[in-house]
Amino acid sequence: MSNGIYVFAEQRSGKLQSVGYELLGEANALAKDLGQPVVAVLLGNGIAAQAESLIPYGADEVVVVDDPILEEYTTEPYAKALAAVIKERQPEIVLFGATSIGRDLAPRLSARIRTGLTADCTGLAIDPDTKLLMMTRPAFGGNLMAVIRCKNHRPQMATVRPGVMQPMEPEEERQGKVTIFPVAFTSADQTVELLEVIPKKRGSADITQASCLVSGGRGVGSKENFQQLYTLAELLGGEVSGSRAAVDAGWLEKDRQVGQTGKTVRPQLYLACGISGAIQHVAGMENSTCVIAINKNETAPIFGVADLGIVGDLHAILPRLETAIRRAKEEGVHYAAPSTQDFVGLENVLFEKQNGIAYLTINRPRQLNALNEKTLAEIGAVADQLAQDESIKVLIVRGAGGRAFVAGADISQMQTMNEEEGRRISLLAQEVFTKVKELPQIVIAAINGYTLGGGNELAMACDIRIASNRSRFGQPEVNLGLIPGFTGTQRLSRLVGSGAAKKMIFTTDQLSAQEALRIGLVDEVVPPEALMRTTRDLAMKIMSKSMKAVKAAKRSINQGLPLTFKDGLLVENDCWTECFREDADGHEGMTAFVEKRPARFNQ
């Protein structure tokens, strides 16, 4: 029987590579669905001492093959060692980074052990029915995403692009073991003579680790013009990257390329200069925290993923930006977005407003965004402001860190509470989540990772829920001698039906994203890399309609839910009638329809 999810922990010259930590984090999420251990496989010479460092990042066991022939990577010895481990251990899944080593080793190993391999994956999930690994990768030049399953051969193998997955926060108390696995090598195993290892040039960029990227495309115009981007990147403490078009033109080194055929990046700031925004490029940078795009073409696709778009000539804009940054640094000025200044005391949530969309981010990634009293109060404060802000049409709620939307309430705070304190925090959460539910804006939850307990209750307070296929949902309170007390018993039963709600609460079983979709707990499931793009696209689509009508429809649905059908119709009739008022959009919408022209709604 196949057992375990194995991760090839890549090292170069004795240094463990970050992609191994990323894959261990993803393997842990998959392991929870399969109930199987996570095993790291570490190959090298004199490398055993580093094995224990993988345990805090999610390895239940580290299998080490330590031999002088493995000092530096060459294909045949590494393939032999890994094949020996797999043939004896019979793992269910084996994961590699889609690095130069992984892309060479994985197909060679696949041929040796006669199993399939899905290359360059951007998403992994377990099918809840078949328990097969669902491997998502770009296809047809990136114009669609294919989901591939390996039904008949084991192990199921995939290479995963670096930077796509998130590593776990290290758990120093985590227990695991190290196993030395002997492999008998002979001189015949080394068919290539390694003459010299040439280290990477000093100063070579690792754009996957940069917190700021100034990225250029065809619109930069020439290799000489890229010097302007290097200057700006140095001022910002970042690196320069670029699109495939810039690399193909010889303006930039290959290791600075972003996109499906380059690298996947997650900087805090991504400044896209003269980049059109082809889907192949966007797939490599769409998870950046803030994207600023400069392009002469106002219809460029890059503006669809940008948080701030500037239409104009980058050669005129960048010098002005450089001057402003230099002046600010000389004056010691630190810029903070105006939208954050209304909440000087915010610590556990981030709040920003851009082009009619507000973003509320639960920002406690080390605690998997668990809700404590302060976090609840801050969510409530944001909701109070939004209730009075007519400039915001859509609110997107999300969790920081990539591992959890919100993993529940902060148990460490609640464990010493008495009855009075327990009642108080329940009433606070109910009040805050009701404020979110009753906001005039359309509220969309962008869910990626664990959504448990109070996190699921927060998600249910949103109008629409979009989840990545790696998300997990549950109400685990009865495991702790509690019940869902943040609106969960009432809202869950109304959303999915009393039977499904009772089963979920009584058993504490976690649901996969696909199962949550099936019962109606979420409204759409997408690969992780498509989550924010899909959410923003939905927000923009809603905002293109009559927002007065959309808000009236939301009010009619929400107010009618607790009523009898007959009383609900009275609410509907009132909201319908409002659409015919002079300051409403009904007359303009109907007139535009008759005149066969686009409606000009007063947004």
The verdict on whether omega for the bond into residue 155 sits within 30 degrees of 0, i.e. cis, is yes
> Rounded to an integer, what distance in angstroms lies between the CA atom of residue 465 and that of residue 476?
20
Query: Is-catalytic flag, 446?
Result: no
Determine the Cα–Cα distance for residues 534 and 440; give it in Å rounded to an integer. Answer: 22
Distance CA 399, CA 401 (A): 7
Active-site option among 239, 286, 457, 529: 457
| 8 Å CB contact between 207 and 265 | yes
Asked if 571 and 559 count as a contact pair (C-beta separation under 8 A), the reply is: yes
Instruction: Give the pairing type, strands 269-273 and 290-295.
Output: parallel
Q: Is 555 exposed, middle or buried (0-12, 13-18, 19+ CB in 10 A)?
A: middle
Question: Which of 477, 488, 501, 549 is an active site residue?
Answer: 477
- Determine which one of 97, 142, 262, 454 is catalytic: 454
* Reduced DSSP (H G I as helix, E B as strand, rest coil) percent helix, strand, coil of the chain, to 5: 40, 20, 40
Residue 1's Cβ-count burial label (10 Å; 0-12, 13-18, 19+) is exposed
The single-letter code of the amino acid at 352 is E
Contact 447, 467 (CB under 8 A): yes
- Determine the Cα–Cα distance for residues 244 and 255; give it in Å rounded to an integer: 11
Residue 174 identity (one-letter amino acid): R
**Which residue is catalytic, options 27, 272, 409, 584?**
409
Catalytic, 477? Answer yes
DSSP string, 461-487: TSSEEEEETT-EEE--GGGGT---TTT
Residue 583 burial (C-beta neighbours within 10 Å; 0-12, 13-18, 19+): exposed
- Look at the block and give the residue holding tokens 């082009």: 355
| Amino acid at position 245, single letter | A
Whether 309 is a known active-site residue: answer: no
Residue 64 class from Cβ within 10 Å (0-12 exposed, 13-18 middle, 19+ buried)?
A: buried
Secondary structure of 385-396 in HEC code, one letter for each residue: HHCCCCCCCEEE
Burial class (CB in 10 A: 0-12, 13-18, 19+), 399: buried
Q: Which residues are catalytic?
A: 409, 454, 457, 477
